[in-house]
Amino acid sequence: MPITYLSLGSNIGDRAANLREAVTRLSDLGEIKVVSSTYETEPVEFTEQPWFLNCVVELQTGLSPSQLLDGILEIEKHMGRFRQQSKGPRNIDLDILLYGDQVLNSQGLTIPHPAMHQRRFVLEPLAEIAPEAWHPLNKRSVRELLHALPPGQSVRKIATLN
């Protein structure tokens, strides 16, 4: 079963509780191997919104990438996520970062996540739990991708989800 890495984020409601609930629900899609610490991060692109709490989960799953996507979209739906504004405030956001060493570019699903190598809020928690995970397109480890980022976005480790 492939190892997948998922990014979780929340910036409205009880952000930590939202992340905990999402992790619990993700266990229905496979075996959760590791959960990173929680990081408080400033929003990117659409910056006029509350700061996020983010973490990354390592999930071992027997689901195909499209089945996994369907499962995480169902979790977002059950948790009350409404897609009212692109990149806008949300109680939960779940993204597939890596799915083994697969590369996939289809309607609605791109693996590896197309912007993960540019996002400190993704790379910091991912590097915490999987620094040697390999980006199959960039041919670099997560640690290398993180070190290659220019200074910028504020990301602050705050706690574990427990």
SS3 sequence, 121-132?
Answer: HHHHHHHHHCCC
Contacts of 115 (CB under 8 A, 6+ apart): none
Sort 88 into a burial class: Cβ within 10 Å, 0-12 / 13-18 / 19+.
middle
The pLDDT value given to residue 101: 94
- Written as six digits, the tokens of 149 are 């980022």
Q: Which of 103, 108, 88, 102 is nearest to 9 (CA)?
A: 88
Q: What is the DSSP string of 22-59?
A: HHHHHTTTSEEEEEPPEEEE---SS-SSPPEEEEEEEE
Tell me the residue range of the domain where 125 lies.
Answer: 3-159
Number of domains the chain contains: 1
Q: Where are the alpha helices (DSSP H) in 79-158?
A: 120-129, 142-148
User: Around Cβ 107, how many Cβ atoms within 10 Å?
Assistant: 5
pLDDT in tens, the chain (162 residues): 889 999 999 999 999 999 999 999 999 999 999 999 999 999 887 778 899 999 999 999 999 999 999 999 999 999 987 666 666 788 999 999 999 999 999 988 999 999 999 999 999 999 999 999 999 999 999 999 999 999 877 888 887 765
- What is the reported pLDDT for 15? 96
Which residues are catalytic, by number? 81, 90, 93, 95
Q: How many CA atoms lie within 13 A of 35 on its CB side?
A: 20
CATH number at residue 74: 3.30.70.560
**pLDDT at site 162:** 56
Angstrom distance (rounded) from CA 115 to CA 21: 25
